[in-house]
Structure 1
C-alpha cells in the first residue's frame, strides 16, 4: 500500500473542488479568544467523510469500479461512500453495526447502497464481516480511515482551512483540534498543515490514539470501554498507516466526557446555529472544557451533523 502524501492531498483537492462548494469557517469566542470552526457538518452527507470517499472511488480503475466497493462504517463514511458511488455509478455495499443511529442507516440506504449489518453490541468483528462480503463480491475495500486515498481526501479539509484562515484570521492555523476515531482525518490534517499542532480528541474510554501516542505503540480500546454516543469515533484501534503520520506530528491526544460533548453540542446550536452530532462535537468540547489551549489562530473541526432528532432534542433539553 502506498503512503499518503501532500501531493496526493493537492490532487484530491482539485477533484473535490470541481464537485463540492467549500464549507464555511465560522468564528466563535471561547474564553475571550476567537477560535475558528470548520463546519464540515454542512457537507452534502453531513460530514467530512465525503472527501475521502470521493478521492478513493474516483481513482478506481474501470475494472475495479465494475466489481463495486465495500465500506465499513457506523454511518458518516457509509454515506460518503454511498454518495460517491451513486454519482459514479459504482455498486456499493456498506457493512454497518446494527446499533448505528437510525438516521445514518436510513440515509445510507436512501442513496442506493446495500447495507449488511453486524452485531457490534454482541462483539462481532466488523473487519471479519467486511472480509466475508469482499470474498463474495471481489470488490474494493474502502476503509474508513486506514486507506491512503481516504487520508488524502480528508486532508483537503486542512488545505481549505488554511486558505480560509489566511483570509480571516491573519494567518494559517497554529493549532487544529479535531475529533479522532481511527485517525484518518487527523493524519490528513497533519500532512496538509505541517506547521500546525494537531490535537486529536476522543471520547472518554475510547482514547486509544491518545494512549498510542503516549506509549509510542498502537494501543487498542479496552474490553471494558463504556458505551458512548460518539458512534462516529467508536473505532477499536488506529492502524499503522495512520499512526506513522500521527506519531511524528501529534504530541499528545485528549479525551472528553459525555457531559462535555453535550455542552459543546448545545453551544454550537446556540451560537453557530449548527446541528452537530456527539462525535462531531468532541474537538469543540475539549476547547470549551479548557483541555485544549487556544489562541487567535486555533481551528476546531466540527466534523459531523448526523444525529437523530429525538436524541438531539434530549441534548438541547439538558
Structure 2
C-alpha cells in the first residue's frame, strides 16, 4: 500500500524533468453538466499521456546496475512510449514487447524514442509471456504498466498538481484500466484531503476493477474506443488501494465515450483518446452524482488513431442531427432528381453525398431510389428539410 510520502518523493524526482500540465476551468462543460468542471490536460505531456509520470519515476529509482543492464516493458500504447522516451533521456537501454497486431504508427513512435521493439503474440497475454521470457533471459528490469508501487506513486503526482491549483476540489474523476493512475491519485488526494471523493470510470465492456471491488470474477470482452482502459485483469496492488481509497467506480457505454471525445474536440479544441475522455463521459452519464460540485477530470491522454477520430466526429454529428442521411423513393423520369435537390437548396441544406439507384431489382422498373447525406445547421434545421421534402410530395426515410 503506497502512501502520500511516496507520491511526494515521486514529485521531487519528476519535477525537474516533467512539466506541470494545464488544469483549467471549462465554462461550457460546466454549463452542460451542472458541475464546476476543471480539466487536467495530461495530453500535453511529450508523449501525450500521463504514463510518462509512472515510467519515469520507476526509471529514476533503479540502481546503477539495473540501469546498465536495461529495462523491458510490455505495452501496445502509451506505457511503451513513456518508458522508451524517458529511458532514452536517461541513457538506459529499453526493450519494448508489443503484440504483433499493434498499429504500425505506435510501433514506429516507440522505435523513434530509441527502444528496441519486439513484436510477439496475437494478444496482450501472449506478448506478456514473451516479455517475461526476454526479461529473464537478458537480465532486464521489467517495468509494469500499473501494478508497481513506484509507477503508482508517479501517477499520483497528477493529483498533487490538481490540488495545488485548486485546493477546494470536491471530486477527482479518472479512468481505470489496470488501476495505476487511480491508485496514485486516490493516495495523494485522500492524503491531502480525506474528505475528497475519488471516482473511477471504466468502459462498460471492461468493468474489471468494478468486478474486483464487488468480489466478482473479472470480465472484459468486446471492442471499445477506450483501448487504454480495456484491461481484463486489474493489478493486485492497485486493487488493494482502490478498495481502500476509491469511493466508486462508474461504467459508461460506447456512445458516451464517443460523445466525450467529440466534445473535447468541439469545445476545448483538444484531442482526447477514448480512455482520456472517460471521466467526461461519466459526468454526462451520471450528472446527478456531480451536480453543484467542483470536479477535476483527468484527461489522461490524446493518442487516438486519426481514422478513429474522424469516425467518432462523424458519428457525433449524426447524433446531433447535423448530418442527415435519407432514403427517398422517386419516379424514374427526367427532372425528378433536380426537384429533390432544389428542395434541399431552397432549405439551405448542403449535400455531402448522393447515390441514385435505378437498376436495383427490388425496385419497379419505373422507380428509382436516392440516398442523400446532407449537412444541417442543427437538428431542427434537418427536420425542417425533411418536412419540406414531404410537403413537395416525396416520402423520405431518415436513416
The alignment's TM-score, normalised by the length of structure 2, stands at 0.73
DSSP 3-state at the match of 1:288: helix
Distance 1:5 1:120 in 2: 37
Alignment of 1:176-215 (within 5 A): 176-194=172-190, 195=194, 196-215=196-215
1:47-76 alpha-carbon deviations (Å, 9 max, x no partner)? 000000110001111100111111111210
DSSP 3-state at the match of 2:156: helix
Residue of structure 2 in register with 1:25 after alignment: 23
Residue of structure 1 in register with 2:265 after alignment: 269
1:116 Cα deviation after fit:
1.6
DSSP 3-state at the match of 1:287: helix
Query: Which one of 11, 14, 17 corresponds to residue 12 of structure 2?
Result: 14
8 Å contact kept, 1:85–1:92: yes
Distance 1:209 1:258 in 2: 18
8 Å contact kept, 1:254–1:291: no
Residue of structure 2 in register with 1:304 after alignment: 301
Distance 1:137 1:233 in 2: 30
Residue of structure 2 in register with 1:159 after alignment: 160
Distance 2:209 2:37 in 1: 24
DSSP 3-state at the match of 2:222: coil
1:278-302 alpha-carbon deviations (Å, 9 max, x no partner)? 1111111111122672233211110
8 Å contact kept, 2:171–2:295: yes
Distance 1:229 1:114 in 2: 27
8 Å contact kept, 2:33–2:283: no
1:238 Cα deviation after fit:
1.3
DSSP 3-state at the match of 1:176: strand
DSSP 3-state at the match of 1:133: helix
How many residues get paired? 306
Pair 1:83 & 2:85 matched: yes
TM-aligned CA distance change 1:76 to 1:312, over 3 Å? same
Residue of structure 2 in register with 1:106 after alignment: 108
Distance 1:153 1:31 in 2: 30
Distance 1:267 1:184 in 2: 26
8 Å contact kept, 2:171–2:296: yes
Q: CA RMSD in A?
A: 1.7
Distance 1:290 1:211 in 2: 19
TM-aligned CA distance change 1:20 to 1:140, over 3 Å? same
Residue of structure 1 in register with 2:359 after alignment: none
1:252 Cα deviation after fit:
2.7
The alignment's TM-score, normalised by the length of structure 1, stands at 0.91
TM-aligned CA distance change 1:209 to 1:98, over 3 Å? same
Q: Bigger CA drift: 81-90 or 6-15?
A: 6-15
1:257 Cα deviation after fit:
1.3
8 Å contact kept, 1:286–1:292: no
Alignment of 1:228-247 (within 5 A): 228-247=224-243
DSSP 3-state at the match of 1:277: coil
Structure with bigger gyration radius:
2
DSSP 3-state at the match of 1:279: coil
Distance 1:183 1:291 in 2: 24
8 Å contact kept, 2:71–2:93: yes
Moved over 6 A (4+): none
Stretches of structure 1 lacking an aligned partner (at least 5 in a row) = none
Q: Bigger CA drift: 106-115 or 292-301?
A: 292-301
